Structure formats: structure tokens, C-alpha cells
Structure 1
Amino acid sequence: MLPIESFSIYIMFCVLVPLAGAFTLLFLFVFEKRIDLLEKQKREIALERELQTALYNQLNQEIQPHFFFNTLNSILALARLDRKAELIRSIETLSKLLKFKYRTLNNVISIEDELTYVNYYLEIQKTRFRDRLHYEIHLDNHVSKSIIIPFLIQTLVENAFKHAFERHIGEALLKINIIKIESAVHVTVWNNSLELNETSPQDGGVGLENIKRRLKLLFPDDETSVQLTDQEDGTAVFAIFPHVIMSEKLEGESTQ
């Protein structure tokens, strides 16, 4: 028979050991959550840095003298021809484009908003290129609210003008196709140039590498892809990334 002192020690041992184990598990759980939070913050900081780089390049390269001055010359031509309706629309569109570019500071936006900006840009280019330019935009309704990194589609469109349409005479054809395949968004930007038109980091543009890095930072655990291909009838760039609705992204971040 155990003495009362030994029995008391035994009871305390039986009570304290499970409590110690529970506290240890709780500590490990909190520590793991803290590590996950730090990793998430690290990715967000890196993504923010890449976005700022993209914004800097956009503001200093894409809205550069060759585009801006050509646009102003087109607007001036409309004024000289007294085409007031087109003149007013062109000025309004340029104002909206600049406002969108300078106010886009988020890491992600919806595809719908991205295409709003792209349409401003294309409307201005239509004023410049007139009947030479033809473009089509196909958007799957299932992905209009999906998230995308800012200026992804816009960069690919601007590359087509800078490295294809502005260098070669003749008809300028552009097609933008955005669809959902299984659980991924597929973006295709095609133009009828037979020469590859990637903007490289060396020439000051945003480039495909910046897009690849930002997609990987936004979706670190998922497969993403950006590929430039030379086709028989032109040049195409394909971007693939997970299908995530904007509201779901915001809710997910608020719960972490």
C-alpha cells in the first residue's frame, strides 16, 4: 500500500504531465502559426516590392514620350480638324487612363478592372492607328471577378504595340482571350506580328520576368506560367494562374 505522500505525488504527476503536454502542444501551435504569419508577411513585402518596381517601370517606360507625344499629336490633329466629339472623348479617355495608372497601388485587382484600363489604352491607340488597328477581347464571365496582378494584360498589350505595330506597317491585329480551364485562369494576348516581342528587363520595360515573379509571389503554393510563343500566324503570350475570386482573397487574408 502506497504512503499518502507517494500517492499525492503520483496524483500530481498524473495531472501535471497531461497539462504540460497540452501547454507544449499549444506553444508549438502558436509558434507554427507565427512562423506562417511571418512567411506570409515576407511574401507580401516581396510582392509589394515587385509591384512598386512594376509601377515605376510603367510610369517611366510605358507612359513614355513616344506614346504620350503621339497621343497628344493625335488629339491635336482632331482639334485642327474640328472633330469635337472625338476630341472630347480622346481627352476624357487619356484622363481616365492616367488616373487609373497613378491610383493603382494594390497588389491585386480584378480582371474586370484590369480590362477597364486596357480598354482605355486601346481606345487611345485606335485614335492613333485608326482603321489600321483591329482588336477583339473575349472574357469568360466566370473569371471577370478573379484576381490578377495589376498591369499583367496591359504589359502584354503594350509589348504588342511597342515591338510589333509601331515597327511594322500594315494591318495591326490584336486578340485578348481570358477563360477558365478547370481551376485556372488562362490569359492569351495574340498579335499578328511574326517576330517575338517580349520586353526585356534591360530595355527598361516591365518584361515577362517581372510578371512571372509577381505571379509566383501571389500564388507561392500553386503552379503559374508565363510563356511567349512564335506561331505561324503571329506571336502569342500565355499566362496561367489559379482562379481566385477577389472576395475570397480578401476574406482569406482577413481570417489569417
Structure 2
Amino acid sequence: MIISSETFSFLSIMSVFVTMAALLLLLMVISFEKQISDLSHEKREMELTNSLQQSTYMQLNQQIHPHFLFNTISLLIGLARLNRLDTLIKSLESLSLLLKFKYQNKDPLIPLHSEIEYTKSYLRIQGLRFSNRLTIEWSIDASTLDYLIPPYLIQTLTENAFKHGLEKKVGQLLLQLETKNENDHFSITITDNGLGFEHLSLEKAMENGHGLLNLKQRLDLLFTNSLMELVKGRSGETSIRIQIPKSH
């Protein structure tokens, strides 16, 4: 069979096109497989990162400051020696509720109202420590009660207020707890009239073990746009303000 030069040229050109098309298709398949592989790798990395973040977050959550436990145990021993059984029982009940919540809660976020109830158990113990020297003022916006926050956030701030401010002060002690609705965020502010922080910035306060680094790390793991700030009032009071995006 004799093939004309035109047919031969056409077949040659077609063979080149087919070969090029096959190579192009092969390259597309290889590129697609690589994209799938990269996506799978990214997914595994994200899963590992999320798992590590969750592990880190829960570890931070479960930390409880020994300073508070030491003071509480000293309080209980003192009440026992004075034979103040009613007060001793109330203290043990509050400590039991505090520890139960601390070690049973595994959620990364909880409603604000749950955190307030938990903090009240903590403050009952502090109230027994300082008796009529301590005044606690609550200013809670009811519309914020169902918003989600990291567990132990308020308790951490109040514990910090006692350790670095109120325990050092002679005379009357004041602790104020306030929440506010603020557009797409809400805020939590803890103010005390103690002697803590002096002229420290928030960064220095975190470096000096003021109980805030743990909280800042947890907020950073959960939110991309939270805010923590330290404000020193004209009358010497210290405020820590946390701003958190609203979520239910």
C-alpha cells in the first residue's frame, strides 16, 4: 500500500499531536496527584497541629496555682484549730465544688454563667479568709451570660488580683467584676484596690509570673482577635480587661 506524501505528513503531524497530548495528559495527572498528596499532607499537618493545640490548651486549663491551695489549706487548718466547725464545713464544701469543676470540665469553652458560679466558690473561700475586710461587687450584663469563654478565665483573674494586690494591702479590700456588651465583642473586667503591678506593663506582668501568661496563651489558641489589657486607675486600683468575640 503506497501512502501519499500528504497522508504521510498528516499522520506524522497527528502522531506528534497525540504524543504531545498524551504527555500533557500525563503531566496533568501527575500534577493532580501531587495536589491531592499536598492536600492530604496539609490535612494531616492541620490535624496534628489542632491535636497539639488542643492538648496544649487542656494542659493549660488543668493548671491550678499552688499558691491558692496552700492558702486554702492554711485556712482550713486554722478553722479546725479554732473549732469553727460550721465555717470549716462551708470552706470544705466550696473547695470541693471548686476542684470538682476544675477536674471534671473538659470543654474548651463554657458559658459565662457557669464560670461565674465556679468563681463564686473560689470567692467564698477568700471571703472566709478576709472576713469583713473584703467587699465584692458584681456588675454583670445579663445579655452576656450565655456567651462562651475559656474556663477559669474569671477565676484566674480574681486569683491574680488576690495574690499580687489584695493580700499585700492593709485595711479594706475591694474586688469588682464587670461584664459588658460591646458590638461584636464583649468584655470582662476585674478591678482591685490592692498594691499589685506598680508600674509594670502587661508584658512585664506576664514575665513576672502574675498568672496572666497562661490565660493569654489560652486566648491566643482559641481566638485570633481577643484583647487583654492592664489599666492602672488614678486612685491606685488595677484593672485587667479581656475582650472576646461573641459566640454561643
- Residues 160-203 of structure 1: CA distance to partner in whole angstroms, max 9, x if unpaired? 11112211111111111122211112110001125427895666
Give distance in 2, aligned partners of 1:30 and 1:37: 10
Match of 2:84 in 1: 79
Alpha carbons 1:176, 1:190 under 8 Å: kept: yes
- In 2 relative to 1, CA 214–48 (structure 1 residues): closer, same or farther, beyond 3 Å? same
Q: Percent identity?
A: 26
Give distance in 1, aligned partners of 2:166 and 2:65: 21
**Does 2:69 correspond to 1:68?**
no
**Does 2:226 correspond to 1:224?**
yes
- Across the aligned residues of Structure 1 and Structure 2, the Cα RMSD in angstroms comes to 3.6
Aligned to 2:84, the other structure's residue is in SS state helix
How do 1:1-256 and structure 2 match up within 5 A?
A: 28=35, 32=39, 35=42, 38-39=45-46, 41-56=48-63, 58-63=64-69, 65-74=70-79, 76-77=81-82, 79=84, 83=86, 86-196=87-197, 207-219=211-223, 222-233=224-235, 234-245=237-248
Give distance in 1, aligned partners of 2:39 and 2:179: 38
Structure 2 unaligned spans of 5+: 1-9
Give distance in 2, aligned partners of 1:72 and 1:180: 42
Give distance in 2, aligned partners of 1:139 and 1:41: 39
Give distance in 2, aligned partners of 1:114 and 1:188: 14
Residue identity matched to 1:42: T
Query: Alpha-carbon deviation of 1:129?
Result: 1.1
Structure 1 unaligned spans of 5+: 246-256
Aligned to 1:166, the other structure's residue is in SS state helix
- In 2 relative to 1, CA 90–67 (structure 1 residues): closer, same or farther, beyond 3 Å? closer
Residue identity matched to 1:66: N
TM-score computed with the length of structure 2 as normaliser: 0.74
Aligned to 2:136, the other structure's residue is in SS state strand
Give distance in 2, aligned partners of 1:26 and 1:110: 45
- Aligned positions, number: 236
Which moves more between the two structures, 209-218 or 44-53?
44-53
Alpha carbons 1:47, 1:214 under 8 Å: kept: no
Query: Alpha-carbon deviation of 1:107?
Result: 2.7
- In 2 relative to 1, CA 120–72 (structure 1 residues): closer, same or farther, beyond 3 Å? farther
Give distance in 2, aligned partners of 1:145 and 1:230: 29
- In 2 relative to 1, CA 206–117 (structure 1 residues): closer, same or farther, beyond 3 Å? farther
Query: Alpha-carbon deviation of 1:141?
Result: 2.7
The structure with higher relative contact order (CA 8 Å, sep 6+) is 1
Query: Alpha-carbon deviation of 1:145?
Result: 2.4
Give distance in 1, aligned partners of 2:80 and 2:115: 24
